Structure formats: C-alpha cells, structure tokens
Chain A
Amino acid sequence: MTTAIEERRQRVLQLLDAARILADPATPLGQRARHELPQETGLSPENVALCLEQHLETKVAACDLDALLAKSTPCRKAHVLLSANVFTAPLRAISLAASQSARVDVRPSRRQPLFTQLLWEASGGAFRVVKELGPAPEDHVWAYGRDESLEAVRDEMPAGVVFHGHASGFGVAAVTSESGESASKVAVALVRDVFPFDQRGCLSPRIVLVRATAAWARDLCQEVVRALSAANHDVPLGTLSEDEAAELTRYRDTMTYTGELLHAGKSVIGFDERGNVLLPPVGRNLHLTCVEDFGSALATVTSHVTSVGAPSALHAEFAQLLPRARIALLGQQQRPPLDGPVDKRPVAEVL
C-alpha cells in the first residue's frame, strides 16, 4: 500500500518518464517534437533538439524531489495556466501541480500548445488539457505570464483559491577577475546560459555585472563575442518577433550612442564601463557593465531578477542581495534542480 506522499512522488516521476520519451529522438513523439516545435516556437531545429536533450528535466535527484514535495501543499485539485515562453516549462509547471493533486487541469498557451499536448500524450493522459480553467475555493492555481495578464487572471479567480502567480523576470550573471578564471573560460560558461531557448526564459542572463578592471571587462567582452559567434554557428538563432526585433533596434542604437556595441553574428553585446545597467532584448544579447558593487548595480532591478549565475565565491554575497533568486554557477543557470518553481520570488496567496 502506497502512502499519500509516495503517490505524489509517483505522479511527478510519471511526468518525468513522459519527458524522457520526448527527449528521445528515436521515439515517434520525440521526432514529432523536433519536427513541429521549431515552427511553433521560432527556435531553430538545433536549439529545439538541444533544449529537449539538455534542458528538459528528465531526471531528478531524490533530495530535490523530496524538497519539491515538502514545499507543495496537497489539495483537492490543481490548475495550471501556461504562457508561451520556454517550451519545456510546462513539464515543471505541471509537475508542481501533480505533486499537489491527482486532479490537474492545464490550459496551455494559445500560441504554444504543442509541448503540453505531447507531454499529455506521452504521459498517457496524466492531466487534463482544458480550454478554460474553473477553479473552486481551496484549489491551487499556478499561473505564468506577463504581470498585467496575471493581474487580470487573478482578478477573475473566485475567493478562496490559492494563487501562485509567476510573472516577468530575467537572469543576471556576475563575474569578477578575482575568481582567477580566464576571461575565455568565463565567456564560454556564460554563453552556455544564453543560447538555449534564445534567451526567452526568466533564467537566461541578459545583464552581466563585471567587478574587475575595465581592461579585463573589455577582454571578457571580446571573449563573449567569440563564444557567442561560435554558439550561433553551431546552434543558429531562431526567428525574432517584430517586438523583439524592435527592442533590438532600440537597444542597438542606445548602446552605440552611450557605450560600445559589439556584434556576434545576429547577437549584440553592449559594453558600458561606467556602470549603467540596461536590459537588452531577448535573442541572445548581453549587456556587460563594470560595477564597483553588485548591490547598487541591481538596485532598480532586484525584484525582477529570478536567477543569478556567478562563481561559487560570490554565491554567499548574492544569497544576501537576492534571497529569492536562484543562484547557480555560470553555465548552469538553465539547469535548475527540480526542487520547486524555477522562479522562487512569488509566494502563494489565498484570494
């Protein structure tokens, strides 16, 4: 006879089994994913394959799963409202809901429903795919999307629902010459976090804070250009939306005027040695800025930072600065353990 916690564990593991089917290029569903997701997401086929094989959570350490289960509250029914963003994100989102209840309703993104559909098929219907969510009081709702969309969704929820809203955010990276690593090694690690999903997830670093001399930071910039050019060659950048392209034009002209702009294929790297922090658009673009202290540099963006990539020597400093952000080694930001939501900022709210 299985215990309740064991049943919850099994539901999550069942979803990871399904994910392994999708990650496997030899399975029909894995092939379908590789064939159809590039069209739907705008990512290149190479990037879709890379993300399925390296960034989809197909394994979980026992301790991480224990942590996930400890944090989740069992409930009558859980609901998931997904956004178009990182195509693999539905797996974690649905796993969180499944850890709470055997009854999970999922409303996929209207623009990107495919991965959820494939996961449903691979899992043998472990959850329900619905067009509209209909939560009852005390049900848990996991909603992902832009701030204003979440606000609208929240307003429509009945009283008594437990609402988990995951809104906008982005990643930053922090580097320092004191860690003793070469600029080229740092750059290669940094770029590993940039090109999966074409930087559209909230884990991807977009701002790089450099605590070093301007000369070292400039070297790093050149190394990032090299590493990003190579990555763009091996795993081509996908298609940018009109909005993303517009933001790129804006960032490009602003940085040309106010700092320096370097090109790595279709990507750009803005360099500002005076400490100005500017958020570049998604699409594998980075803003490198020299800072004296990380805290003041992050002053206006603290609440938006979901993830920090940094050498281990800086982890304690960032744990204090950004207690709700995930902190990882450079190159590991896009592989968070399956121990809860990727974005640790929001707290559940009883409406």
Chain B
Amino acid sequence: MDFVAKSDALHGRVQAFARGQGDDEFEALALEIAQFQARNIPAYARLLEARGSTLSSFADIVAVPTDAFRLARVAVHPKAMDQACFVSSGTSSAARSVHPMRRLDTYQDLAVRFATEKLVDDPHSRRVVVALAPHPGSPPTSSLGCMMRALMVALDGRALSVDPDGALFNPDSLERWLVSNQGLNFAGLERAARMALERQEPLLILGTSLALVNLLDALDGRTLRCPRTTTVMQTGGTKGRKLRSTAPDIAQGVARALGIGVERVVSEYGMTELGSQAYSDNLRMGADTTAFTPSPCLRITPVDPVRLRPMPDGEPGLARFVDLCNVDSAVCVLTQDLVVRTDQGVELLGRRPGAPARGCSLDLEDLILHRSAPQS
C-alpha cells in the first residue's frame, strides 16, 4: 500500500529528527505529515476545507480537537493494521479517547530518548525501574503504561534480583508493576528500593499522582529508605478522581517520604492523543522550575479559543500541539488545557473552564457519549 510506504518513510525521518540526524526542519516535516494525513484521512481533509486551509505552509496546519479521538477513528490506516490502540483512562461512563497506533517503535524510541534526558543523571549507568501503575496489557491499551514499559527495558533491562547476572529480565513481571486491583504493592516498592541500595544504583519510580498519594497514605508519615539518587516521574492519572492535594504538594510529600530532594520529583505531561511528552526540567534546573519543556518533536502553542490564533508570549491560551510522533493520526491536536509560554518553557494552567458562565451549561467533555465503534 502506497500510504504505508509513505508513512514508514515519515516514521524514519521523525526518528532521525529526534536523534538530531537528517536534514529535516521541524516545520517542514510537520507540514509534510499534515499533507500526508489530509490525503489519507477524509475527515481531516474536510476539516481543512471547512477552515479554508490549503496546507501550503506550517501556519496552515489545522488542529484536530481532542474530542474527535472520542468520537471517531483518527488514523490513516484501517483497524486491521493497528499494532496497539491507546485508550484514555477515566472512571466515568463517558466516551474515552482512542489513539490507534500502526507502529509503536517511533512512540517508544522518542519517549525513551526524551525521558532519558529529563529523568536520568547519567545515561550510561543502569538503575532499578519500577512503576506505580498497573501493567498496561498486551498489546498495551495505555500510552503511559507502554512508555513506562519501554523505560524499564531501556533504562534497566535486568532482572529484579540482587544479582541480576544470568537472571531473566521480564518487563511484564508484576514485581515491577506495583498497582493492581488489590491496590498499591508497597512491599514490592520496598523490595525494589532495597535492591537499588544493595546494588548501589539509582531507583527510578514511575508513578501517577493518584498512586503517589496512595503511597503517602500507605507510609502514613513514615519514610521509605531509598537511594539518594532516586528519581520519581510524577504524571497525571487522576481522571475521574478528585485528589485532596495539588501536584506540588504531592511532590513535596513524596520527596520527604523518600528522603530525596524535591527537584528529583519530575513532572511528566502527556496524553493519549499525543505520542510525545513534556517534562518539568527540575532535575537540571532545580525545584523552582514549574515550566514544562516539550520534546524536540513537540511544539506547544497557546492559541485563543475562538479564532485559534497564537497568543503572544505571556498570555494564556488553549494548548495546541504539533507532534511529529503522530505520523498516522493527527499531527496537530487542540486540547482544552490552558497554557502560557514563558522564558522557561510552557506553564500549565489547568483546564479551560469548559462551561460558559451560564446556569445551564455543562462541560461538553463530560457529556460525550460514544455509541459506535470508531470507523476508519
């Protein structure tokens, strides 16, 4: 199929771009991906036409609203070619976002490359990696879980035993996935921490905010002895649940509980609809850093919510993402998250208050009901 060859070529160029190789410029490559998607996704062609875009320049790229991922199949390829389908988390009965992936290697390669830059002190050394998250399944249905698994493979890659030499490495072992229906496996985390101490290696804990709150509850004021080089990746994962603490409060609490500096709790920003991530840069820049740095394959632009034009620096707007990793879905995605661009990067300001200030309005997102399977 012609589009497969074209897609594969684009994947190759995106991976090269992420490695800093090849001749591609970000904007030209994004435009080419958008043109490819317009040729192969009639819905995107329709959106471009409705918005009067001819896709002749980077500025002409039209964003696909994240709601589209809940209601339709956003993909250049048919379902039979899915290598995985990422589904957003959530506890409500409302429709969830579905992001079909024809290839996982680009996603995993880019995720590992950028995470290594933001979560790891010394990329040449090994560490013990565990996740305060449930196993993502096979094929993975959680983009976050898929990324965590890729990080276990790339940044650890050894059996979870004191002497890993000769032992079989299994990234799917439930000793590494420390959240299940039974809740948080605190003993498993203690074991991983002990192992890292004995090996004199850093520990990397990948966790959702919700799981980290559960960890703090389990510790109930006690501390868990960990290597001082332990790093925690803290990410969303609170959909449908109200946390009593804010993300910075959780980070402070986790740092105290693990006996590490708060700059070692690094925030990750990602979503089902995106292949690329952004991180707070506090491991390099210090604990005061609140801005997020996007991956080199991701550009975040605040836009005004009515005309969708870029906002000047310092003024908040809806987050519009151009993500080179989304070769086979939507290279440009519009969310309802508010962001502002600063000297340090992009600050997240939370969700735009979806409901207009009218008594009878509700957040549209809560009320989407998906009745039919997304179709190609």
Chain A interfacial positions (CB closer than 8 Å to B): 83-85, 111, 144-146, 167-170, 200-202, 204, 241-254, 256-259, 261, 272, 274-279, 281-282, 289, 291, 296-297, 299-301, 304, 306
Q: Are A243 and B359 in contact (CB under 8 A)?
A: no
Q: Are B47 and A278 in contact (CB under 8 A)?
A: no
| Other-chain contact of B64, A84, A251, A257 (Cβ < 8 Å) | A257
The residue on A at minimum CB distance from B353 is: A243
25 A-B pairs (CB sep. < 8 Å): A84-B357, A84-B358, A145-B359, A146-B361, A168-B362, A170-B361, A201-B360, A241-B356, A241-B358, A244-B358, A250-B305, A251-B364, A253-B64, A253-B334, A256-B43, A257-B47, A272-B71, A274-B371, A274-B372, A277-B369, A279-B368, A281-B364, A291-B371, A301-B369, A304-B367
With a CB–CB cut-off of 8 A, which chain A residues contact B367?
277-279, 300-301, 304
The answer to whether residues A257 and B356 also contact, given A250-B305, A278-B71, A278-B364 and a CB cut-off of 8 A, is: no
Q: Are B355 and A146 in contact (CB under 8 A)?
A: yes
Compute the total of residue contacts between A and B using a CB distance below 8 Å: 151
Q: Are A254 and B65 in contact (CB under 8 A)?
A: yes
| Other-chain contact of A169, B356, B360, B368 (Cβ < 8 Å) | B360
- How far is the CB of A151 from the nearest CB of chain B, in Å? 12
| Other-chain contact of A244, B50, B93, B356 (Cβ < 8 Å) | B356
The answer to whether residues A261 and B50 also contact, given A249-B308, A274-B372 and a CB cut-off of 8 A, is: yes
With a CB–CB cut-off of 8 A, which chain A residues contact B308?
249
With a CB–CB cut-off of 8 A, which chain A residues contact B307?
249
Q: Are A279 and B362 in contact (CB under 8 A)?
A: yes
Q: Are A258 and B371 in contact (CB under 8 A)?
A: no
Q: Are B356 and A247 in contact (CB under 8 A)?
A: yes
Q: Are B359 and A146 in contact (CB under 8 A)?
A: yes
With a CB–CB cut-off of 8 A, which chain A residues contact B372?
274-276
Q: Which 7 A-B pairs have the closest CB atoms?
A: A275-B371, A246-B305, A243-B356, A85-B359, A274-B372, A202-B360, A277-B369
The residue on A at minimum CB distance from B92 is: A300
- Does B306 lie at the interface of the complex (its beta carbon under 8 Å from any beta carbon of A)? yes
- Binary A-proximity of B42-66 (CB < 8 A = 1, otherwise 0): 0110110011000000000011110
- How far is the CB of B319 from the nearest CB of chain A, in Å? 13
Q: Are A282 and B305 in contact (CB under 8 A)?
A: no
With a CB–CB cut-off of 8 A, which chain A residues contact B43?
256-258
- Does B348 lie at the interface of the complex (its beta carbon under 8 Å from any beta carbon of A)? no
Q: Interface size class for chain B?
A: 35 or more
- Does B370 lie at the interface of the complex (its beta carbon under 8 Å from any beta carbon of A)? yes
Q: Are B306 and A246 in contact (CB under 8 A)?
A: yes
The residue on A at minimum CB distance from B71 is: A258
Complex CA distance for A277 and B365, rounded to whole angstroms: 11
With a CB–CB cut-off of 8 A, which chain B residues contact A272?
71
The residue on B at minimum CB distance from A202 is: B360
Chain B interfacial positions (CB closer than 8 Å to A): 43-44, 46-47, 50-51, 62-65, 67-68, 71-72, 74, 92-95, 305-308, 334, 336, 352-362, 364, 366-372, 375
With a CB–CB cut-off of 8 A, which chain B residues contact A278?
67, 71, 364, 367-369
- How far is the CB of B96 from the nearest CB of chain A, in Å? 12
The answer to whether residues A200 and B368 also contact, given A246-B305, A300-B94 and a CB cut-off of 8 A, is: no
With a CB–CB cut-off of 8 A, which chain B residues contact A167?
359
With a CB–CB cut-off of 8 A, which chain A residues contact B370?
276
- How far is the CB of A166 from the nearest CB of chain B, in Å? 8
The residue on B at minimum CB distance from A244 is: B356
With a CB–CB cut-off of 8 A, which chain B residues contact A258?
43, 67-68, 71-72
Complex CA distance for A252 and B51, rounded to whole angstroms: 10
| Other-chain contact of B68, A168, A243, A257 (Cβ < 8 Å) | A257
Complex CA distance for A245 and B369, rounded to whole angstroms: 22
Q: Are B355 and A299 in contact (CB under 8 A)?
A: no
With a CB–CB cut-off of 8 A, which chain B residues contact A144?
359
Q: Are A200 and B358 in contact (CB under 8 A)?
A: yes
- How far is the CB of A112 from the nearest CB of chain B, in Å? 10
Given A85-B358, A250-B334, A250-B336, 8 extra CB contacts under 8 A:
A85-B359, A200-B359, A246-B306, A253-B50, A257-B47, A259-B71, A274-B371, A304-B367
Q: Are A250 and B94 in contact (CB under 8 A)?
A: no
With a CB–CB cut-off of 8 A, which chain B residues contact A261?
50
| Other-chain contact of A300, B67, B93, B353, B360 (Cβ < 8 Å) | B93
Q: Are B364 and A247 in contact (CB under 8 A)?
A: yes
Most B CB atoms within 10 A — which of A144, A246, A258, A297? A258
Q: Are A247 and B354 in contact (CB under 8 A)?
A: yes
Complex CA distance for A243 and B95, rounded to whole angstroms: 23
The residue on A at minimum CB distance from B334 is: A253
| Other-chain contact of A276, B51, B359, B369 (Cβ < 8 Å) | B369
Complex CA distance for A131 and B63, rounded to whole angstroms: 45
Complex CA distance for A279 and B361, rounded to whole angstroms: 9
With a CB–CB cut-off of 8 A, which chain B residues contact A297?
369, 371
The answer to whether residues A257 and B94 also contact, given A168-B359, A246-B305, A277-B368 and a CB cut-off of 8 A, is: no
Complex CA distance for A289 and B368, rounded to whole angstroms: 12
- How far is the CB of B93 from the nearest CB of chain A, in Å? 5
With a CB–CB cut-off of 8 A, which chain B residues contact A306?
360
Complex CA distance for A253 and B52, rounded to whole angstroms: 12
Q: Are A250 and B362 in contact (CB under 8 A)?
A: no
With a CB–CB cut-off of 8 A, which chain B residues contact A250?
65, 67, 305, 334, 336, 364
Complex CA distance for A150 and B84, rounded to whole angstroms: 43
Q: Are B65 and A299 in contact (CB under 8 A)?
A: no
With a CB–CB cut-off of 8 A, which chain A residues contact B355?
146, 168, 243
Complex CA distance for A200 and B356, rounded to whole angstroms: 10
